[in-house]
Amino acid sequence: MKLNHLILAILTTALWGLTFVVIKLGLGEFPPLLFAALRFVVVALPAVFLVKRQGIAWKWIIAIGLTMGVLQFGLLYIGMYNGMPAGLSSLVLQSQAIFTLLLAAVMLKDRPTRQQWLGMGVSLSGMGAIAFESFAQARLVGLLLVLGASLAWASGNITLKLANVANGFRLFIWMAIVPPLPLLGLSLWFETGQWEALRQLNGLGIGALLYTGLISSMLCFGFWGYLMQRYSPNVVAPFSLLVPVFGLLFSALLLGDSLGQLELIGGLLVFAGLALIVLAPRAASFKPQG
Protein backbone atom coordinates (compact mmCIF):
# COMPACT_ATOMS: atom_id res chain seq x y z
CA MET A 1 0.00 0.00 0.00
CA LYS A 2 1.29 3.44 -0.94
CA LEU A 3 2.25 5.75 1.92
CA ASN A 4 -0.52 8.27 1.18
CA HIS A 5 -3.10 5.46 1.11
CA LEU A 6 -1.70 4.03 4.35
CA ILE A 7 -2.11 7.44 5.98
CA LEU A 8 -5.65 7.67 4.58
CA ALA A 9 -6.56 4.26 6.05
CA ILE A 10 -5.23 5.21 9.49
CA LEU A 11 -6.94 8.62 9.34
CA THR A 12 -10.26 6.99 8.45
CA THR A 13 -10.12 4.56 11.38
CA ALA A 14 -9.08 7.39 13.72
CA LEU A 15 -12.06 9.49 12.63
CA TRP A 16 -14.34 6.48 13.13
CA GLY A 17 -12.88 5.89 16.58
CA LEU A 18 -13.48 9.52 17.52
CA THR A 19 -17.11 9.12 16.42
CA PHE A 20 -17.98 7.20 19.58
CA VAL A 21 -16.80 10.11 21.74
CA VAL A 22 -18.85 12.50 19.61
CA ILE A 23 -21.92 10.26 19.97
CA LYS A 24 -21.48 10.22 23.74
CA LEU A 25 -21.30 14.02 23.80
CA GLY A 26 -24.27 14.32 21.46
CA LEU A 27 -26.37 12.10 23.71
CA GLY A 28 -26.13 14.86 26.29
CA GLU A 29 -27.92 17.16 23.83
CA PHE A 30 -30.53 14.88 22.22
CA PRO A 31 -32.68 11.89 23.14
CA PRO A 32 -30.93 8.86 21.55
CA LEU A 33 -33.50 7.95 18.88
CA LEU A 34 -33.94 11.57 17.84
CA PHE A 35 -30.15 11.93 17.60
CA ALA A 36 -29.92 8.84 15.37
CA ALA A 37 -32.75 10.10 13.16
CA LEU A 38 -31.15 13.53 12.71
CA ARG A 39 -27.82 11.91 11.85
CA PHE A 40 -29.40 10.26 8.82
CA VAL A 41 -31.21 13.44 7.83
CA VAL A 42 -27.78 15.10 7.64
CA VAL A 43 -26.51 12.21 5.48
CA ALA A 44 -29.49 12.07 3.14
CA LEU A 45 -29.89 15.81 2.54
CA PRO A 46 -28.80 17.04 0.08
CA ALA A 47 -26.72 14.02 -1.04
CA VAL A 48 -29.71 12.00 -2.23
CA PHE A 49 -30.46 14.77 -4.76
CA LEU A 50 -26.87 14.74 -6.03
CA VAL A 51 -26.24 10.97 -6.21
CA LYS A 52 -28.34 8.97 -8.66
CA ARG A 53 -29.89 5.68 -7.56
CA GLN A 54 -28.95 4.04 -10.90
CA GLY A 55 -31.07 0.92 -10.73
CA ILE A 56 -30.47 -0.09 -7.09
CA ALA A 57 -33.60 -1.99 -6.14
CA TRP A 58 -35.80 -0.38 -3.50
CA LYS A 59 -36.04 -3.68 -1.61
CA TRP A 60 -32.31 -3.55 -0.88
CA ILE A 61 -32.39 0.13 0.03
CA ILE A 62 -35.20 -0.51 2.51
CA ALA A 63 -33.69 -3.72 3.91
CA ILE A 64 -30.28 -2.17 4.50
CA GLY A 65 -31.84 1.05 5.78
CA LEU A 66 -33.73 -0.91 8.42
CA THR A 67 -30.85 -3.18 9.50
CA MET A 68 -27.82 -0.90 9.24
CA GLY A 69 -29.77 2.27 9.93
CA VAL A 70 -32.78 1.92 12.22
CA LEU A 71 -31.68 -1.14 14.20
CA GLN A 72 -27.90 -0.71 14.28
CA PHE A 73 -27.81 2.96 15.21
CA GLY A 74 -31.01 2.97 17.23
CA LEU A 75 -29.69 0.19 19.49
CA LEU A 76 -26.16 1.64 19.59
CA TYR A 77 -27.34 5.10 20.65
CA ILE A 78 -29.75 3.73 23.27
CA GLY A 79 -27.04 1.41 24.58
CA MET A 80 -24.56 4.25 24.97
CA TYR A 81 -27.30 6.39 26.54
CA ASN A 82 -27.81 3.56 29.06
CA GLY A 83 -24.28 3.58 30.37
CA MET A 84 -22.00 1.96 27.80
CA PRO A 85 -18.71 3.94 27.64
CA ALA A 86 -17.68 5.29 24.25
CA GLY A 87 -14.45 3.29 23.98
CA LEU A 88 -16.00 0.02 25.11
CA SER A 89 -18.88 0.53 22.67
CA SER A 90 -16.41 0.93 19.79
CA LEU A 91 -14.90 -2.43 20.75
CA VAL A 92 -18.11 -4.36 21.39
CA LEU A 93 -19.68 -3.12 18.15
CA GLN A 94 -16.88 -4.82 16.23
CA SER A 95 -18.33 -8.16 17.35
CA GLN A 96 -20.34 -7.77 14.16
CA ALA A 97 -17.46 -9.75 12.63
CA ILE A 98 -18.45 -12.75 14.75
CA PHE A 99 -22.15 -12.44 13.94
CA THR A 100 -21.40 -11.96 10.24
CA LEU A 101 -19.38 -15.18 10.12
CA LEU A 102 -22.15 -17.12 11.86
CA LEU A 103 -24.90 -15.68 9.65
CA ALA A 104 -22.82 -16.28 6.52
CA ALA A 105 -22.30 -19.92 7.53
CA VAL A 106 -26.05 -20.43 7.93
CA MET A 107 -27.46 -18.27 5.13
CA LEU A 108 -24.67 -18.28 2.53
CA LYS A 109 -23.11 -21.68 3.30
CA ASP A 110 -19.78 -19.90 3.75
CA ARG A 111 -18.22 -21.80 6.60
CA PRO A 112 -15.55 -20.13 8.78
CA THR A 113 -11.99 -21.45 8.79
CA ARG A 114 -10.48 -23.08 11.88
CA GLN A 115 -8.62 -19.86 12.67
CA GLN A 116 -11.88 -17.92 12.50
CA TRP A 117 -13.63 -20.41 14.80
CA LEU A 118 -10.75 -19.99 17.23
CA GLY A 119 -11.05 -16.21 16.97
CA MET A 120 -14.77 -16.41 17.73
CA GLY A 121 -14.08 -18.52 20.83
CA VAL A 122 -11.45 -16.09 22.11
CA SER A 123 -13.69 -13.07 21.46
CA LEU A 124 -16.71 -14.69 23.11
CA SER A 125 -14.67 -15.44 26.23
CA GLY A 126 -13.73 -11.76 26.31
CA MET A 127 -17.39 -10.78 25.91
CA GLY A 128 -18.20 -12.98 28.89
CA ALA A 129 -15.66 -11.14 31.04
CA ILE A 130 -17.02 -7.76 29.89
CA ALA A 131 -20.59 -8.88 30.62
CA PHE A 132 -19.62 -9.99 34.13
CA GLU A 133 -17.99 -6.63 34.86
CA SER A 134 -20.87 -4.74 33.23
CA PHE A 135 -23.35 -6.57 35.44
CA ALA A 136 -21.35 -5.52 38.49
CA GLN A 137 -21.39 -1.90 37.30
CA ALA A 138 -25.14 -1.96 36.47
CA ARG A 139 -24.68 -1.34 32.75
CA LEU A 140 -25.50 -4.81 31.42
CA VAL A 141 -28.55 -3.44 29.58
CA GLY A 142 -26.31 -1.04 27.65
CA LEU A 143 -23.94 -3.87 26.74
CA LEU A 144 -26.77 -6.06 25.46
CA LEU A 145 -28.14 -3.20 23.36
CA VAL A 146 -24.75 -2.58 21.73
CA LEU A 147 -24.45 -6.31 21.05
CA GLY A 148 -27.87 -6.09 19.43
CA ALA A 149 -26.53 -3.25 17.29
CA SER A 150 -23.62 -5.42 16.18
CA LEU A 151 -26.05 -8.22 15.24
CA ALA A 152 -28.09 -5.73 13.20
CA TRP A 153 -24.88 -4.61 11.44
CA ALA A 154 -24.05 -8.24 10.66
CA SER A 155 -27.53 -8.73 9.22
CA GLY A 156 -26.90 -5.70 7.03
CA ASN A 157 -23.60 -7.22 5.88
CA ILE A 158 -25.43 -10.33 4.69
CA THR A 159 -28.04 -8.19 2.98
CA LEU A 160 -25.28 -6.26 1.22
CA LYS A 161 -23.81 -9.52 0.00
CA LEU A 162 -27.18 -10.67 -1.33
CA ALA A 163 -27.82 -7.28 -2.97
CA ASN A 164 -24.54 -7.54 -4.90
CA VAL A 165 -24.44 -3.80 -5.57
CA ALA A 166 -21.30 -2.54 -7.28
CA ASN A 167 -21.29 0.96 -5.74
CA GLY A 168 -21.61 0.64 -1.96
CA PHE A 169 -21.32 4.39 -1.39
CA ARG A 170 -24.28 5.07 -3.68
CA LEU A 171 -26.33 2.46 -1.82
CA PHE A 172 -25.35 3.97 1.52
CA ILE A 173 -26.52 7.44 0.45
CA TRP A 174 -29.90 6.12 -0.66
CA MET A 175 -30.41 3.85 2.33
CA ALA A 176 -30.01 6.96 4.52
CA ILE A 177 -33.50 8.12 3.48
CA VAL A 178 -35.05 5.09 5.23
CA PRO A 179 -34.09 5.49 8.95
CA PRO A 180 -35.32 9.04 9.76
CA LEU A 181 -39.08 8.38 9.72
CA PRO A 182 -39.02 5.08 11.70
CA LEU A 183 -36.54 6.52 14.20
CA LEU A 184 -38.58 9.71 14.59
CA GLY A 185 -41.72 7.63 15.09
CA LEU A 186 -40.03 5.51 17.75
CA SER A 187 -38.68 8.66 19.38
CA LEU A 188 -42.15 10.20 19.59
CA TRP A 189 -43.53 6.97 21.04
CA PHE A 190 -40.83 6.19 23.61
CA GLU A 191 -38.92 9.43 24.31
CA THR A 192 -39.58 12.87 25.73
CA GLY A 193 -37.78 16.19 25.50
CA GLN A 194 -37.42 16.29 21.71
CA TRP A 195 -38.78 19.82 21.33
CA GLU A 196 -36.64 21.11 24.17
CA ALA A 197 -33.53 19.59 22.57
CA LEU A 198 -34.28 21.25 19.23
CA ARG A 199 -35.28 24.57 20.81
CA GLN A 200 -32.07 24.67 22.86
CA LEU A 201 -29.85 23.47 20.02
CA ASN A 202 -26.29 24.73 20.56
CA GLY A 203 -22.88 24.44 18.96
CA LEU A 204 -22.14 21.09 20.60
CA GLY A 205 -25.35 19.55 19.29
CA ILE A 206 -24.85 20.95 15.78
CA GLY A 207 -21.22 19.79 15.77
CA ALA A 208 -22.20 16.28 16.86
CA LEU A 209 -24.76 16.04 14.05
CA LEU A 210 -22.38 17.37 11.41
CA TYR A 211 -19.52 15.14 12.53
CA THR A 212 -21.54 11.92 12.72
CA GLY A 213 -23.42 12.66 9.50
CA LEU A 214 -20.90 14.30 7.19
CA ILE A 215 -17.52 13.11 8.48
CA SER A 216 -18.12 9.73 10.11
CA SER A 217 -20.74 8.57 7.63
CA MET A 218 -20.18 10.20 4.25
CA LEU A 219 -16.50 11.21 4.24
CA CYS A 220 -15.10 8.13 5.99
CA PHE A 221 -17.29 5.73 4.05
CA GLY A 222 -16.11 7.39 0.86
CA PHE A 223 -12.46 7.02 1.93
CA TRP A 224 -13.03 3.36 2.80
CA GLY A 225 -14.71 2.64 -0.53
CA TYR A 226 -11.85 4.39 -2.34
CA LEU A 227 -9.32 2.10 -0.65
CA MET A 228 -11.45 -1.00 -1.24
CA GLN A 229 -11.53 -0.24 -4.96
CA ARG A 230 -7.73 -0.04 -5.17
CA TYR A 231 -6.60 -2.86 -2.89
CA SER A 232 -7.65 -6.35 -1.94
CA PRO A 233 -10.22 -6.47 0.89
CA ASN A 234 -7.73 -8.62 2.80
CA VAL A 235 -5.32 -5.66 2.75
CA VAL A 236 -7.84 -3.01 3.77
CA ALA A 237 -10.11 -4.92 6.20
CA PRO A 238 -7.48 -5.42 8.95
CA PHE A 239 -7.34 -1.66 9.43
CA SER A 240 -10.82 -1.96 10.99
CA LEU A 241 -9.04 -3.30 14.08
CA LEU A 242 -7.71 0.21 14.68
CA VAL A 243 -11.21 1.62 15.22
CA PRO A 244 -11.64 0.31 18.80
CA VAL A 245 -8.01 1.20 19.55
CA PHE A 246 -8.69 4.83 18.63
CA GLY A 247 -12.11 4.63 20.28
CA LEU A 248 -10.63 3.54 23.59
CA LEU A 249 -7.79 6.08 23.31
CA PHE A 250 -10.05 9.06 22.55
CA SER A 251 -12.54 7.93 25.20
CA ALA A 252 -9.80 7.93 27.83
CA LEU A 253 -8.23 11.22 26.71
CA LEU A 254 -11.37 13.26 26.07
CA LEU A 255 -13.96 11.74 28.40
CA GLY A 256 -11.78 10.32 31.16
CA ASP A 257 -13.28 6.85 30.70
CA SER A 258 -11.46 3.89 32.17
CA LEU A 259 -12.04 0.15 32.07
CA GLY A 260 -12.39 -2.13 35.05
CA GLN A 261 -9.89 -4.95 35.37
CA LEU A 262 -12.21 -7.59 33.93
CA GLU A 263 -13.30 -5.23 31.14
CA LEU A 264 -9.65 -4.60 30.26
CA ILE A 265 -8.88 -8.33 30.15
CA GLY A 266 -12.09 -8.98 28.24
CA GLY A 267 -11.31 -6.18 25.80
CA LEU A 268 -7.87 -7.62 25.07
CA LEU A 269 -9.43 -11.04 24.46
CA VAL A 270 -12.07 -9.57 22.15
CA PHE A 271 -9.41 -7.67 20.21
CA ALA A 272 -7.21 -10.78 19.91
CA GLY A 273 -10.17 -12.80 18.69
CA LEU A 274 -11.14 -10.16 16.14
CA ALA A 275 -7.55 -10.11 14.88
CA LEU A 276 -7.69 -13.89 14.34
CA ILE A 277 -10.97 -13.51 12.44
CA VAL A 278 -10.03 -10.55 10.25
CA LEU A 279 -6.48 -11.72 9.51
CA ALA A 280 -7.50 -15.29 8.72
CA PRO A 281 -7.01 -16.51 5.12
CA ARG A 282 -10.01 -15.59 2.97
CA ALA A 283 -11.23 -13.17 5.65
CA ALA A 284 -14.30 -11.24 4.69
CA SER A 285 -14.37 -7.47 4.43
CA PHE A 286 -16.02 -5.83 7.39
CA LYS A 287 -16.51 -2.07 7.08
CA PRO A 288 -16.40 -0.38 10.45
CA GLN A 289 -18.93 2.28 11.25
CA GLY A 290 -19.72 4.24 14.34
Position 286 confidence tier, pLDDT thresholds 50, 70, 90:
very low
Position 233 confidence tier, pLDDT thresholds 50, 70, 90:
low
- Quick one: pLDDT at residue 32? 98
Q: Where are the domains of the chain?
A: 3-278
Q: What is the pTM of this model?
A: 0.90
- Quick one: pLDDT at residue 290? 64
- Quick one: pLDDT at residue 284? 43
Mean pLDDT of 208-228: 89
- Quick one: pLDDT at residue 288? 44
C-alpha 247/C-alpha 116 separation (Å) is 24
pLDDT tens track for 94-134? 888 889 889 988 888 888 888 989 999 999 999 998 888 87
pLDDT tens track for 28-45? 999 999 999 999 999 998
- Quick one: pLDDT at residue 131? 86
Whole-number Cα distances in Å, 183 to 70, 75, 77, 213: 6, 11, 11, 15
Query: Helix, strand, coil shares of the chain as percentages rounded to 5?
Result: 80, 0, 20
Q: Mean pLDDT check: name the lowest of 6-10, 119-123, 133-137.
A: 133-137
Mean pLDDT of 185-195: 96
Reference 86, options 197, 202, 246, 211; nearest CA is: 246
